[in-house]
Amino acid sequence: MLLKTQPQQLSWLCAGHVIPACRTEADFVYALRLSQTPSLILLFGDINSLPELLQRANAAAKLLLVHLDLLEGVGRDKAGIAFLAKLGVKGLITTKPQLGKLARQEGMRVIQRMFLVDSESLRTGIRILKGFRPDAIEVLPASTPASVLSELKEATDVPIMAGGLVRSADDVRQAVANGACAVSVSLRQLWNP
């Protein structure tokens, strides 16, 4: 089972299997207090609020992973990625591999987010990742079957995390049992192991 060896691959990302995904500033403040969590996923914000959020995350010794597709006011291009790097962003989540490549060139950790809704989206995702190796792949939804995660892991040799539609601790356990080494979760009650 993949579960036995993969958690160490993402030790920079989580302690255990849950990564807090913050949708609001209140979520962010709450997550900062979770000392066992080395990183947080930022699912809100804009170029005006980002510098302060980065400062607060750094002060709490947390890696802030910025979801570029949800960050307002930053271009989804080379200049936008360079701007984020100058601000001090160390990690990025995106659905766009070309932006992931640019972020890697700027020295950022990159999580490539993939929506797996059918076999064709799996084939497309594998094909896209032939020319780009992110630090991790986030597969949505978290309930993606074990056989699909196994195929993706075998084809890419990249650690896989899961996210989306996680509503209970059982959902987290099932995603891990299916082969995910970590699960991004926006529900606060699931952040503490």
Q: CATH code at 79?
A: 3.20.20.70
Amino acid at 37: T
Q: What percent of the chain has pLDDT over 90?
A: 86
**Confidence grade of residue 2 (pLDDT, cut at 50, 70, 90):** very low
Which residue, among 24, 13, 20, 17, has the nearest Cα to 34 in the 3D structure?
A: 20
Among positive and negative, which fits the CA dihedral 78, 120, 93, 134? negative
Total count of residues recorded for the chain: 193
The CA distances from residue 39 to 18, 34, 45, 52, in Å, are 10, 10, 17, 16
Query: pLDDT (tens digit, 9 = 90+) per residue, 18-43?
Result: 999 999 999 999 999 876 889 999 99
The CA distances from residue 142 to 19, 33, 146, 163, 169, in Å, are 13, 25, 10, 5, 12
Give the chain's domain count: 1
- The residue range of the domain holding 93 is 2-190
Amino acid at 139: V
Question: Residues 76-90: what's their mean pLDDT?
Answer: 97
Report the run of H or E that residue 36 belongs to, with start and end.
none
> Which residue in this structure is represented by tokens 């802030």?
64
Give the other-Cβ count within 10 Å of 133's Cβ. 15
